[in-house]
Amino acid sequence: MSKPPFNELNLAAHVGDDPGHVNANLATVSGLLGLPRNRVVTMGAVHGARIGFVSEPGHVEGVDALISTSSGLVLTALGADCATIALSGPGVIGVVHCGWRGLAADVVGSTVAQMQSVSSGPLEAVVGPAICGKCYPVLPARILELVSAVSPRVSVAAVTSSRDGQPSIDIRAGICERLSELGVRMHVVGGCTVEDEALFSFRRDSVTGRQGMVIAFGAADGQE
Ligand SMILES: [Zn+2]
Between 15 and 217, the more confident residue is: 217
Q: Could you give the residue ranges of the DSSP H alpha helices within 59-127?
A: 100-105, 107-118
Interval 8-26 mean pLDDT: 73
Query: For residue 53, how far is its CA from the centre of ligand 1 (angstroms)?
Result: 33
pLDDT of residue 18: 77
Cα 3 to ligand 1 centre (Å): 27
Whether 3 is covered by a domain: the verdict is no
pLDDT above 60 (res 222): no
Give the Å distance between the CA of 170 and the centre of ligand 1. 9
Contact between 179 and 148 (Cβ < 8 Å): no
Per-residue pLDDT tens over the stretch 30-66: 777 777 778 899 999 999 999 999 999 999 999 999 9
d(C-alpha 68, C-alpha 172), whole Å = 24
Residue 41 lies in a domain: yes
CA of 192 to the centre of ligand 1 (A): 5
Contact 169, 194 (CB under 8 A): no
Radius of gyration for the alpha carbons in the chain, expressed in angstroms and rounded: 17
User: What pLDDT is attached to residue 20?
Assistant: 78
Q: What is the mean pLDDT of residues 192-197?
A: 88
Ligand 1 centroid distance, CA of 164 (Å): 12
The answer, yes or no, to whether residue 140 has pLDDT greater than 60, is yes
Cα of 130 vs centre of ligand 1, distance in Å, is 8
The range of the structural domain enclosing residue 190 comes to 19-216
Residue among 74, 17, 47, 48 at smallest CA distance from 215: 74
Per-residue model confidence (pLDDT) at position 63: 96
pLDDT of res. 15: 67
> Quick one: pLDDT at residue 209?
65
Query: How far does residue 107's CA lie from ligand 1's centre (Å)?
Result: 23
Residue 9 forms part of a structural domain:
no
Output the CA–CA distances (angstroms, integers) from residue 206 to 180, 182, 186, 201, 202, in the order listed.
32, 34, 30, 7, 5
CATH of the domain at 136: 3.60.140.10
Helix (H) or strand (E) holding 151: none
Amino acid letter, residue 128 = G
Distance 98 CA to ligand 1 centre (A): 17
Look up the pTM and report it: 0.88
145 falls within a domain: yes
Cβ-contact 55, 91 below 8 angstroms? no
Q: Is 12 among the domain residues? A: no
Beta strands in 80-178 (DSSP E): 83-89, 92-98, 124-127, 159-161, 167-169
In a domain, 7, yes or no: no
- If you measure from the C-alpha of residue 162 to the centroid of ligand 1, how many angstroms do you get, rounded to a whole number? 9
Establish if 143 belongs to a structural domain: yes
**Mean pLDDT taken over the chain:** 88
CA 38 to chain centre: 21
What local confidence, expressed as pLDDT, does residue 132 receive?
96
CA of 195 to the centre of ligand 1 (A): 5
Evaluate whether residue 40 is within a structural domain.
yes
Residues in the chain, total: 224
Per the structure, the count of domains in the chain is 1
State the pLDDT confidence band at 219, using cuts at 50, 70 and 90: very low
- Ligand 1 center from residue 193 Cα (angstroms): 7
